[in-house]
Structure 1
């Protein structure tokens, strides 16, 4: 506690103020001593020693304070001084002095449960485990909420033989088998020994015998979690919560724990908490996120708007509302929320997302300004090549959407010079196609394929597009080779599977082609796959099957151009479906 007197001005430093206060206290004691004829010279010396200890403590010279307190505790019968020395020894990490001071405190106050507790800690740090556990046991008998697990933790951290700990714990447990604290300590011991099954057994017993002690249940939860037993952790935390169902903070801890392992349980807990305190920001936000994870967008949107109303982490609420709007294809709403984020956690990611949205909304000027601002920021701060390349792709897309195809091509050419990447080559190949530059298109696709990344979506797309180009040039074998490699890279890519089947059909491998196209149709039915599969079936005489495939596809995608063109070219007698 700081000492101040009215006579001390602000110009005087804190240590000097403390010294003046101590001198005043000393003079006060001397005056009192003159009025007390029974005061001895020894008492005056003790008083001075205590004053030195207090002054050292005020100066934050904890080492000198500890030594002074301990010396005085040996000459005076004051549990207060021994207690001061004990706590300072623990703070200073001086185990021998901790044990000595705590023992002195215990001897001076034999009925003080806290003295026995600290004595146990001191014995444990000095590897006297039997004495440590014995002191803890006395503390428990005197009513202290003793934690035997602390002794086990100290033993583990200080490489003390755990067998010694185990033997003593077994003796105590045999005497009191329903002691939750002892059971918890043995559970911790077994965890340290690597015996998870035995640890869980004793932790279960501790939870059973908790006797209303929430500390036992929370410690058990922590040990369960350390050994990966989420079920046990949730059970212990539930019992701790059931001790007082309306304890808001306890239930909040339970809800947070449940959110990691059991989302429905977590949602129920957060919903209950919301009835207790509708304006609690963390509850509102976490319940919103749980609904988002379960794709319950409408409820999440309602909670996030409420989060904005109570002004709790508005940036977070705007971000998630923006993502929901994107999933609903409501780009205007998405732009509204994302532009309201004041301090984004990932500014580059946010800026890139906004550039894409503003481009799709045809807000060309806003997107161009954002591109330039991001370029300036990246130039000043520096960033990874992937961010630079992503920005170049979005700028090229923005320019191309405005009809500035050559400008977009130049943007990608500059980016490729700075940091070649498959995605840049792939996009420039698409622009080369628009410009009618088929030679450079093929070169860019080949460059994308030669990307050193073992798995790359752009690389697979480049293989696919180049294969289609080869197929139109009559180079089916080259196309088949590329598509086979693309399929090996991305076996779940139905577009590659569809093209592979079509090229095999053109090469006369009908059965294999049908198998691949039917597989693609089963995985992800769409108009293009239906058109190719239907055409093959039609040409090999299985017209009824082909007709049914065409009819079903038209019900799903009546405006699909490739599907419509195929049906018309084959002269399939099929009318488009009519809607009521």
Structure 2
């Protein structure tokens, strides 16, 4: 606060007294920081921040001293507390950061750490950690703070020395935090990290989490044999837990030793009989081996141990559904619904159970009960609509979708697209066309509806109408790579307008580089223009990413026309192994082989 020389004496006295009272409040806050146990530096809830004291504990002395703090520093602290009480934690953190760096007072530093932790301000926490460590070098807490922040930032070379310092100062640290943050590291960086841990393993041979971190890092690097060896070495010092059992099991599974993994897991479950995570992992392992009865037994034990283990109830219901034990599945799904647990997922799979048994009306009713905004909502509406159309209730299906999407234009457009596709799949293309025409009158220029109508025109081979709608889309949205690709491929495949097709496809690939469908289309246009080398190069790129039968048919044809017929036949044969009698592959093979026979006979 700045006092004016012209300020009346009485006002100045009041302001001075207010400042003095606030100063008492500030010292009360610092006392709470320094006299109480040090806070958890990484997880301070906002509610734990001391409130700004509005009344002094005792009347201020006329010549109150402010310790080592200047009046300006006190003012900044008071502003910071006021900012915190008004909810502006970021501003409070900035104020206290400046004050901590200026005063190097331990109480101020701890208060600043509280604010920076709540605001998740990594830069501030790093600065404060360094200051704190210099002020109190015997305390492991600032070293822990720095280690964690360096880990979060991926600076492992800086984190590890700080971790070592924590242990040297008598603190403890969970090195599993290290391996939990290294899953995405490239192999070279992870190898460097493993080497950096070796001196720590020698220096602190009795630290369980350090030994396990080495095992986890080796496993992440795919060095499974080394990981198992390290785990065997660590057994003498590491206390066995459910976590170590899971770690060994995961390594064995990654090595393809599923039976050994199951053996280890079964032994672990006997030791840690009440650990739900371990038993649920064993159940999932059985499912991966198609041992459904064994999985059901484990889920039954979990439910017996805790009747409200809803994840086990849900998983058990899914297994029953998978092996077509519909009565048991439905009973468990209904129990979940009645208990208010995983209601929408249970509704969806309860409907699936009814559908598989041919109880279509009950299936429709339950699909429609899945709540909007949940993961299965769109899938449930699609299934309900498909089944309603199959039962001949086309109008009822349409009315339901309209009712659900009323007032939500984007959802309504999505439902129109879905309904049109389902009508076409059900052999009702005329109804699909009527729906799209009517909807485009309501939503003119809606590109998704135009594209849906393109699919309809494609199905009846109305090239001119497809092109008209595609050009409308491109006029509305010139960067629509989907429309550019569709029109370009259509022109290359069904007309002789190859140059025009190539121009469209080059625009599409520029907008969506690397897309295998567009790359395939581009290769097809190049092939039609006789640019075989360019076509082969692009079709190989597309096939490497998306080895689809259609791409295989194109690739084989390009190779055939280049005179590389053995390679073409090999590509087609591999495609047919994965998709026997695929019409695109068989058509290309028969057409080209027939043509070759005719050419030879002339």
Q: TM-score, normalised by structure 1?
A: 0.51
Q: Deviations over 1:109-132 (max 9, x none)?
A: x3x543442354478759546642
Q: 1:86 to 1:228 in 2, by over 3 A?
A: farther
Rg (Cα) greater in structure: 1
| 1:284 Cα deviation after fit | 2.0
1:26-45 superposed matches below 5 A: 28=55, 31=58, 34=61, 41-42=67-68
Map of 1:150 onto structure 2: 178
Q: CA 1:57–1:413 in structure 2 vs 1: closer, same or farther (change >3 Å)?
A: closer
1:198 aligns with 2:226: yes
After TM superposition, give the deviation of residue 256 of structure 1 in Å.
Answer: 8.4
Distance in 2 separating the partners of 1:87 and 1:329 = 61
Residues 74-93 of structure 1 mapped to structure 2, 5 A cutoff: 74=104, 76=105, 78=106, 80-86=107-113, 91-93=120-122
What secondary structure sits across from 1:312 in the alignment? coil
Contact persistence 1:103–1:119 (CA under 8 A): no
Q: Distance in 2 between matches of 1:256 and 1:83?
A: 47
Structure 1 residues 362-396: Cα deviation after superposition (integer angstroms, max 9, x where no partner)? xx5x4432245548969941568675232244373
Match of 1:25 in 2: 25
Does residue 185 of the first structure (1) align with residue 213 of the second (2)? yes
Which segments of 5 or more consecutive residues in structure 1 lack a partner in the other structure?
Answer: 1-18, 398-406, 426-449, 457-486, 498-580
Q: 1:360 to 1:306 in 2, by over 3 A?
A: same
In structure 2, what is the equivalent of residue 370 of structure 1?
Answer: 397
1:180–1:209: 8 Å Cα contact kept in structure 2?
yes
Residue matched to 2:141: 114
Bigger drift between 155-164 and 319-328 goes to 155-164
The answer to whether the aligner puts 1:71 opposite 2:102 as a matched pair is yes
2:428 is aligned, of 389, 396, 411, to 396
TM-superposition CA deviations, 1:231-288 (whole Å, max 9, x none): 699899889977864355x458747865884664654443222113334433322211
Cα deviation for residue 334 of structure 1 reads 3.1
Q: Deviations over 1:189-230 (max 9, x none)?
A: 546766454345435655775426677778x58996997889
Aligned to 1:275: 304
After superposition, the Cα gap between the structure-2 partners of 1:56 and 1:159, relative to the gap in structure 1 and judged at 3 Å, is: farther
Which residues in structure 2 correspond to 1:249-260 (within 5 Å)? 250=277, 254=281, 258=285
The reply on whether 1:103 has 2:133 as its aligned counterpart is: yes
Q: Deviation string for 1:281-333 (max 9, x for gaps)?
A: 33322211122223333321221232233233444333322322232233344
1:470 alignment counterpart: none
Shift of 1:419: 3.0
Q: Distance in 2 between matches of 1:262 and 1:132?
A: 44
Judge which range, 190-199 or 96-105, deviates more.
190-199
Query: Secondary structure in 1 aligned to 2:337?
Result: helix
Match of 1:136 in 2: 166
- In structure 2, the partner of 1:309 is 338
CA shift for structure 1 position 23:
6.7
Shift of 1:164: 7.2
Say yes or no: does 1:246 pair with 2:274: yes
- Indicate if the aligned counterparts of 2:23 and 2:74 stay in contact, CA closer than 8 A: no
Cα deviation for residue 135 of structure 1 reads 0.9
Question: In the alignment, which residue of structure 1 is the partner of 2:538?
Answer: none
Which of 450, 455, 459 is matched with 1:419 structurally?
A: 455
1:132-168 alpha-carbon deviations (Å, 9 max, x no partner): 24313225x44x2432753995899799977875555
**Counterparts in 2 of 1:32 and 1:208: CA distance versus 1, 3 Å:** farther
Instruction: Report how far residue 103 of structure 1 moved.
Output: 0.9
The answer to whether the aligner puts 1:323 opposite 2:352 as a matched pair is: yes
- Pair 1:298–1:21, CA change in 2 (3 A): farther
Q: TM-score, normalised by structure 2?
A: 0.49
Cα distance change, pair 206–85 in 1 and its aligned pair in 2 (3 A)? farther
Question: Aligned equivalents of 1:183 and 1:93: distance in 2?
Answer: 28
- Measured after TM superposition, the shift of residue 99 of structure 1 is 4.0
Change (3 A) 1:273 1:31: same
Distance 1:123 1:410 in 2: 60
Answer yes or no: is 1:491 the counterpart of 2:597: no
**Structure-2 change in CA distance of 1:419 and 1:224 (3 Å):** same
| Secondary structure at 2:358 match in 1 | coil
